[in-house]
Structure formats: structure tokens, C-alpha cells
Amino acid sequence: MNLMKTLTGMLLATAAMAMTATACELTLKSSDTHPDGYPTVEAVKHMGKLLEERTNGRICVEVFHSAQLGQEKDTIEQTKFGVIDLNRVSMGPFNNLVEETKVVSLPFVFKGVDHMHKVMDGPIGEEILTAFEPHGYVGLAFYDGGSRSFYNKVKPIKTVEDMKGMKVRVMQSDIFVDMMTALGANATPMPYGEVYSAIQTGVIDGAENNWPSFESSGHYEVAGYYTLNEHLIVPEVLVMSKASWDKLSAEDQAAVRQAAKDSVPVMRDLWTAREKASEEKVRAAGVEIITDVDKAPFMAAMDSVYEKHVTSDKLKDLVARIKATD
């Protein structure tokens, strides 16, 4: 009798799972280069749960983490054509496509994380999200990318002079390349997935990123010096293919947009916890953390970057408004 009950329960559970799977009329394919469990990955999963609940199971989200669908440059192109529906992407790769993203990718443009949140949660953030649409994307929300700092395998970086001649990986963005050039380093643009082996084999000396990325990528295993100069606080963006967006009803579009917005505080909570855990893991591994850095010379070296990239009245206005935000 107990065996029959167990078998019946299993059959019912299997049937319920099958019904749930078939109930989704539309499954949105989402890409992320970060590993499973990373705050951005979990945030999009949360968005999917909200969307499924709010559409009575009609719309689901399937998250492909760990660059399963390709590195960011490749997935950006796939997203434009609707091969990928949703994409969590760093802002850098969009710099040459969506002009407004240059502003939030500028070194030292934000005073701190709280300042970045205030800017991106307000009208300036909405303005930048809207700027994606003419290029084939719908900007949905901004996630945290933390404070980015330099790490390398050669020596502690304490001054701008220490950067001279170093081969440093950067995202495939002109701003990032020019930032490194202004510091006297040799910028090496390359996909995120190639950085570990490049440091290990000496193709590059180091890179720059936040605590969670430095830790989750394993880069701390091959780069023993991490300098907390915090030159960048670049938000990351969740976009949807406009080709996919246009297939949705107005009601479903509103549901997607709201679910994305509602995933942001969840992501931020996860991010705060992950930053702390990653820092603890990196310190425990024996990485030398350099905190006695005078940021002023680093900031002064960025004048040429601003002069080169903040050229239009639109961008100058955006920078001024960001600086004026309290």
C-alpha cells in the first residue's frame, strides 16, 4: 500500500512538472558570462520566477550562465537579432554602439557606489536605458558591477609610475584602452574567458575587475597583487532583444520590464554578500592587498580620456548632471 502511494505521488509530481514545463507558452533565453550562483545570474533567475508568477506560467526565463552562449561580444550580436532574448552585459562592450554608455564607463565619474545607485535609479539611468532602443535592444535594468581595481602577477601597484609598461587586459572598449594608455600601461583587449591563461602564461601581467569577478574567475590564483585604487564603478546592464520585445503584447512588455526592475534590489543584496565573501576568500589565499594608494594622480591622469571621449554636448551634459547629483 505504501509502495502504491509512493508511486502515485511520484507520478503526480512528474505530471505536475510536465504541466509546468508545457504551460510556458514562451521561454526567453538569457545569457550571462558569469558562473552559476553569481549575483547577476541569480537576479535574472529571480526575474524569471516573478515573470512566470505574474503571467500565470505563460512566460519563463532560461538562464545560460558561464558563457554557454558565447563571450559578451558574440552574445551582443546574437541578442540584436533575437537569437538570444535577454542578455546581462558589461557596459564596456556597448561603448562603441550606444554613445550614452560611455559616460558611466568613464574612470572616477562616480563618487562611490551609493552615488552610482542614485544616478542609475533616477532620470539619468532611464535616459541611458532608452538610448539602447535605436540600436536593436531594450534596456531593462542596471545591476551592480562593483568597484574595479588593478591586479597583477608582477609587483604591488601603489603609484601611476608602477603601471608603466605593464601589459593589462581590458574589456573591448576604446575608453578602457585609452585609460590604460593614459596610465602608461599597455592595454590588451581580450575576452574575459581568456584572462586566466593569459596571466598564467605571461601573455599579460594582469587585469582589472571587482572582488567577486577576481575571485570567481580564479584570477587570484595567478595574480598575487590586488590594488584597491577603485578606478571604475561601472554598472552592468540587462537588455532584451528588440526583435523579441516587439513580439510581446503591451501587457507582457510591461510585465517583463517590471520583473527586471524588481530583480535589482535582490541583485544588490546578493552582491553585497558576495563581495564580502569573495574578499575573505582572496585574503585567505594570501593575495597581497594594497590599500595605501593615493588616487589623486590616477584621477589627474584621466583628463585626456575625458577630453577624447566626452566630445558631444549630450555627453558633456550627462557628465555634468552625474557630477551634480548628490
* pLDDT above 70 for 120: yes
* pLDDT above 90 for 226: yes
Percent of the chain's residues with pLDDT above 70: 93
Beta-strand relationship, 86-89 and 236-241: antiparallel
pLDDT in tens, 134-150: 999 999 999 999 999 99
* pLDDT above 90 for 206: yes
pLDDT in tens, 242-290: 999 999 999 999 999 999 999 999 999 999 999 999 999 999 999 999 9
Non-local CB neighbours of 130 within 8 Å, separated by 6+ positions: 139
pLDDT for res 92? 86
Round to whole Å and give the CA distance between 265 and 87.
18
- Interior/surface letters 97-135, b for 16+ CB within 10 angstroms, e for the rest: ebbbbbbbbbbbbbeebebbbbbbeeebbeebbebbeee
pLDDT for res 172? 82
Q: How confident is the model at residue 5 (pLDDT cuts 50, 70, 90)?
A: very low
pLDDT for res 173? 84
Round to whole Å and give the CA distance between 71 and 89.
10
* pLDDT above 60 for 176: yes
* pLDDT above 80 for 11: no
The answer to whether the CB of 236 falls within 8 A of the CB of 145 is yes
pLDDT for res 10? 33
Q: Average pLDDT for residues 283-304, to the nearest whole number? A: 97
Mean residue pLDDT across the chain: 92
Round to whole Å and give the CA distance between 228 and 235.
18
Q: How confident is the model at residue 14 (pLDDT cuts 50, 70, 90)?
A: very low
Three-state DSSP at 110 gives coil
Q: How confident is the model at residue 8 (pLDDT cuts 50, 70, 90)?
A: very low
Round to whole Å and give the CA distance between 91 and 77.
14
Percent of the chain's residues with pLDDT above 90: 88
Higher pLDDT, 280 or 95: 280
Q: Average pLDDT for residues 203-219, to the nearest whole number? A: 96
